[in-house]
Amino acid sequence: MSEQNLKEQGSRERQTENGVAPMIKTKDITKWYPSGSGKVFVLRNIDLEVNEGEFITIMGPSGAGKTTLLNIVGMLDEASEGEYRFLDQDVHSLNERKRAELYKQHIGFIFQSYHLIDDLTVYENLETPLLYKKVKGTERKSMVCDTLDRFQMVGKKNLFPSQLSGGQQQLVGVARAVIATPRLLLADEPTGNLHSSQGEEIMQLLSKLNKEGTTIVQVTHSERNASYGNRIIYLKDGWILDKL
């Protein structure tokens, strides 16, 4: 078979039934760590497809591998074995710089532990993803101010993360993740540190973003949060048990 035919065959294999390649596709993704003379497995043979525009929930008990899978999809971690394609690019074959560029251009991440930059103010933390995307100064200022107003944080814009409560830091983390309208939004327990009314507002915001076209993959223990999505993937001991 010629090289051109091989390329065409590979392209056909990457198409879904509706003729569009999935945004996310993993094949036999396995993650392990060395332990003595053996290995400790965190993920095992994960096959997953997520189409653009979906809202996916990953659920399972603590230690199931949920956050590890999310970090691999978000290019913050690498699989020990297997293949991962994002926007039809072989992530597993890219160097660190190219993976970082893909992340900055297309992905927003709501971290369970906030991951705010300690020596930047709330305003500067929100501005950071816009700097990565090279948004011009006047537009950047407008977007940050709109986001501060949307999340009712105008009065806290000059505070540092250490001056905020856990719930306030979580809100800043959510705001930072969505400010640049990422193509893919990854959320690790996005409402875990918020009181119920704040949590409901955040989930409604994520639902609105999804309806506007943002693809969302969330990790949660909350059945209520899961109800906002259109598909649930259950993990246990690193294996996919079920896909609903």
Q: Each residue of 125-158: pLDDT tens digit?
A: 999 999 999 999 999 999 999 999 999 999 999 9
> Which residue, among 176, 236, 189, 211, has the nearest Cα to 44 in the 3D structure?
236
Angle of CA points 44, 241, 45, to nearest 5°: 20
Domains in the chain, please, with CATH? 21-243 (3.40.50.300)
Q: Does the model's pTM come out above 0.85?
A: yes
Distance of CA 46 to the CA centre of its chain: 17
Question: Is the per-residue pLDDT at 13 higher than 90?
Answer: no
The answer to whether 224 touches 231, Cβ cutoff 8 Å, is no
How many residues does the structure list for the chain?
244
For 64-117, write each residue's pLDDT tens digit.
999 999 999 999 999 999 999 999 999 999 999 999 999 999 999 999 888 999
